[in-house]
Structure 1
């Protein structure tokens, strides 16, 4: 636990690594590495000693970039539209999730990634420690996706997904896969006028473009992909595409409990 200290002017001082983690720079452990590598400056002076105390008047930079400090932690759920980058900035000038959140009272960052052409639920926060744990594979946080593929998908193909699919970076963990009730016979039609089948798949890994690669590997390229659940958070139909809302205290508690934080 961090012990509160006051500087010579009586102002509350905090450990540098705690301030950087709360600002959403990275997890506490990753921030400590940044400090030890000499990549952090306080008031223009490189700091490489862990435990250094800073106050609200200090100017902190990481790799020369000014860090915007936040005394409060904020947690949001964003329904990311297709065509938006899960990043703080994009060299190609495409819209980003951070730009969508520009009206939030503090700068928040995405927990994990959703592809440019994938829509759905994305947690945004400045709680660096929580974000790191939610993304770390050791905690096995489940993500559920609604998948539209050119069907019908055969039983053997579904079993492959459930047993794990061999990709070029290794075999995936077993996934949970179900057909969307009532949609197998009543298929929807895309712009190509070809039948699509809707399934839902739950994974707990975070390989790059994993769901698309899994379905491609079994012979069913994904036509459309939407994340409908992240851990205990699920799409209830109320959060429109491009909109976001604050997480409730109960939702925050569930997320933190999920990864061993109190």
Structure 2
């Protein structure tokens, strides 16, 4: 594992922040300052930050929350809107969310008490599955863009009105299933591997289609299934086994 990746996995710092720490000479191995970002760390290497040994955070818990529309994925909202922590049991108040679902979206949200696990899941290419209801007929050009990907110089339509993001590149969808397609409205299940800012809303808005409903039903190997709205469950044993395998692979590579 690269040194900057090791630091990100075993501290509160991101990889970019880890690069800065290395550049500043604050990282030592065998009492020597290491300035090489790509230095390879193995399980026997002892890495120190400001003279303190970086230890692997032992143990973690991951929960699934079925987020309803009308809740913000945040600790606080400056507009006084309801946040997910208003609904989550107090014992999960320190858990951090894996990515976001916007105010008008619902469905599966993963949270964990381990920031490294959160980061690994959020930065992964695990498949995200969504059910969408759209405001009109899905034309062939939309299906073509889903299959081949598209780059937009102006993807502000569908985004938040205060968002500074304008241009956006949309990778080809992993897959999709058109459930209903009429002039009045359409329903479609889509699978993507990214989680950019309001990505699906921006994509379909480019083709004049408003996302009326958006529900995430799966994130990688975790399914929402029949979890009631605003309820929480722990990962099942099989899901934890898959998560362990995913994290081992992620840490090694």
| TM-score over 0.5 for the pair | yes
Counterpart in the other structure of 1:110: 97
Counterpart in the other structure of 2:84: 97
Structure-to-structure mapping, 1:9-24, within 5 angstroms: 21=11
* Contact 1:97 1:110 (8 Å CA) reproduced: no
Tell me how far apart the structure 1 counterparts of residues 96 and 236 of structure 2 sit (CA, whole Å).
18
TM-score (norm 1): 0.67
Tell me how far apart the structure 2 counterparts of residues 93 and 34 of structure 1 sit (CA, whole Å).
36
* Contact 1:164 1:172 (8 Å CA) reproduced: yes
Once the two structures are superposed, what CA deviation does each residue of 1:173-197 show, in whole Å capped at 9, x if it has no partner? Answer: 10122112xx44xx7xxxxxx8321
Matched, 1:207 2:196: yes
Matched, 1:179 2:168: no
Once the two structures are superposed, what CA deviation does each residue of 1:135-190 show, in whole Å capped at 9, x if it has no partner? Answer: 11xx312111111012321222211122113233232110122112xx44xx7xxx
Counterpart in the other structure of 2:68: 81
* Contact 1:179 1:198 (8 Å CA) reproduced: yes
Shift of the 132–52 alpha-carbon distance from structure 1 to 2, 3 Å rule, reads: same
Counterpart in the other structure of 1:144: 129
* Contact 2:10 2:116 (8 Å CA) reproduced: no
Shift of the 147–114 alpha-carbon distance from structure 1 to 2, 3 Å rule, reads: same
Once the two structures are superposed, what CA deviation does each residue of 1:69-109 show, in whole Å capped at 9, x if it has no partner? Answer: x9752210001001101112222222212332233366211
Look up the SS of the partner of 2:185 in the other structure: strand
* Contact 1:76 1:245 (8 Å CA) reproduced: yes
Tell me how far apart the structure 2 counterparts of residues 101 and 34 of structure 1 sit (CA, whole Å).
36
Unaligned runs of at least 5 residues, structure 2: 2-6, 25-47, 155-166
Tell me how far apart the structure 2 counterparts of residues 91 and 240 of structure 1 sit (CA, whole Å).
28
* Contact 1:85 1:96 (8 Å CA) reproduced: yes
Counterpart in the other structure of 1:159: 144
Counterpart in the other structure of 2:239: 251
Shift of the 27–210 alpha-carbon distance from structure 1 to 2, 3 Å rule, reads: same
TM-score (norm 2): 0.69
State the aligned residue count.
Answer: 206
What's the CA shift for 1:133? 1.4
What's the CA shift for 1:220? 1.2
* Contact 2:8 2:18 (8 Å CA) reproduced: no
